Amino acid sequence: MRRPMVAGNWKMHGTCASVAELIGGLKQQSLPADVDVAVFPSALHLAQAVSGFAGAVAVGAQNCAYEPQQGALTGEVAAIQLLDAGCSLVLVGHSERRLLLGESDELVVRKFAAAQSVGLTPVLCVGETLAQREAGETLAVVAEQVAAVIEALGVKVFANALVAYEPVWAIGTGLTASPEQAQQVHEAIRAQFARLDASLAGELRILYGGSVKAASAAELFGMPDIDGGLVGGASLNADDFGAICRAAGS
Ligand code: PGA
């Protein structure tokens, strides 16, 4: 049985005061014991979240440098520094970084490897744009993003990683993929892994992201290959995020 994860991607939101309020609000929530709950604050608020949650919720970064160790790379944060700050997870290849900041599959692979080399668990984000979906390219695009990592690093690296399927057209738009649309892609991703390593594929957690709300979460999480969610907008509200976490519980 795969243990669900619900992760909040806070993106470029928050001040010291609002983050303190959000942490306080989340600590009031009753979170299900059979779900891994994680938050991804901005780099500036990682330490605040690590000390505020004191282990009750896992903390991850939204990005890491392609070099794992400290060095001369102005403006970047090394995976080893994230580990030192108390992070256990890191997002790699979020579509906002791929599309708005020009991150290539090659760079995503390097960040994935950097994260794992220090013991952080990467969450590989993949997903198609609206134009790609309308052109019938969804499964091919997602398979290629996944394959870039498998071909460079081998399938076994996914024993210590998660995948998040996030259709770009559903991110921050209020448009959620239907449970059936999401399930189709999750199933294809799992099948891609199963062709290489069936037992790893059976254990791999694949999260859905894209306008997940409290009202839509239970139906999405009820699909056989959806193992939880990566939640943006709704994760900034403690009550909404708490409800989404509970929707992933049994
Ligand atoms: P959203 O963001 O829930 O606001 O659509 C999801 C994400 O980008 O991780």
Sorted by where each starts, the structural domains of the chain and their CATH numbers stand as: 5-249 (3.20.20.70)
Return left, alpha or beta for 231; rule: phi > 0 is left, psi -120 to 50 is alpha, else beta.
Answer: beta
Assigned token pair, 231: 């939640």
Judged against a pLDDT cut of 90, whether residue 150 lies above it is answered with yes
Judged against a pLDDT cut of 90, whether residue 148 lies above it is answered with yes
C-alpha 117/C-alpha 134 separation (Å) is 38
Measured N-to-C along each axis, helices 214-221 and 179-194 cross at an angle, to the nearest 10 degrees, of 40
> Do residues 152 and 114 make contact, with C-beta atoms less than 8 angstroms apart?
no
The annotation status of 111 as a binding-site residue, yes or no, is no
The annotation status of 25 as a binding-site residue, yes or no, is no
The annotation status of 169 as a binding-site residue, yes or no, is no
Q: What is the pLDDT of residues 118-137, one digit of tens each?
A: 999 999 999 999 999 999 99
Return left, alpha or beta for 200; rule: phi > 0 is left, psi -120 to 50 is alpha, else beta.
Answer: alpha
Q: What is the pLDDT of residues 56-111, one digit of tens each?
A: 999 999 999 999 999 999 999 999 999 999 999 999 999 999 999 999 999 999 99
Judged against a pLDDT cut of 90, whether residue 174 lies above it is answered with no
Using pLDDT thresholds of 50, 70 and 90, give the confidence band for residue 19.
very high
Task: Output the residue whose Cα is nearest ligand 1's atom 3.
Answer: 232
Q: What is the pLDDT of residues 193-202, one digit of tens each?
A: 999 999 999 9
User: Which atom of ligand 1 approaches the CA of 230 most closely?
Assistant: 9
Count of other CB atoms within 10 angstroms of residue 182: 26
Burial (CB < 10 A; 0-12, 13-18, 19+), residue 164, is buried
167 CB under 6 A from ligand 1? no
Distance, CA 71 to ligand 1 centroid (Å)?
Answer: 32
| SS3 sequence of the chain | CCCCEEEEECCCCCCHHHHHHHHHHHHHCCCCCCCEEEEECCHHHHHHHHHHHCCCCEEEECCCCCCCCCCCCCCCCCHHHHHHCCCCEEEECCHHHHHHCCCCHHHHHHHHHHHHHCCCEEEEEECCCHHHHHCCCHHHHHHHHHHHHHHHHCHHHHHHCEEEECCHHHCCCCCCCCHHHHHHHHHHHHHHHHCCCHHHHHHCCEEEECCCCHHHHHHHHCCCCCCEEEECHHHHCHHHHHHHHHHCCC
The annotation status of 27 as a binding-site residue, yes or no, is no
212 CB under 6 A from ligand 1? yes
- Among 101, 96, 127, smallest CA distance to 206 is for 127
Distance, CA 92 to ligand 1 centroid (Å)?
Answer: 14
Distance, CA 212 to ligand 1 centroid (Å)?
Answer: 7
Judged against a pLDDT cut of 90, whether residue 8 lies above it is answered with yes
Judged against a pLDDT cut of 90, whether residue 43 lies above it is answered with yes
Is the pTM value of this prediction over 0.85? yes
233 CB under 6 A from ligand 1? yes
Count of other CB atoms within 10 angstroms of residue 135: 12
Active-site residues, by number, are 94, 166
Mean pLDDT of 31-45: 98
C-alpha 194/C-alpha 112 separation (Å) is 21
235 CB under 6 A from ligand 1? no
**∠ Cα 123 126 128 (to 5°):** 165
Task: Output the residue whose Cα is nearest ligand 1's atom 6.
Answer: 232
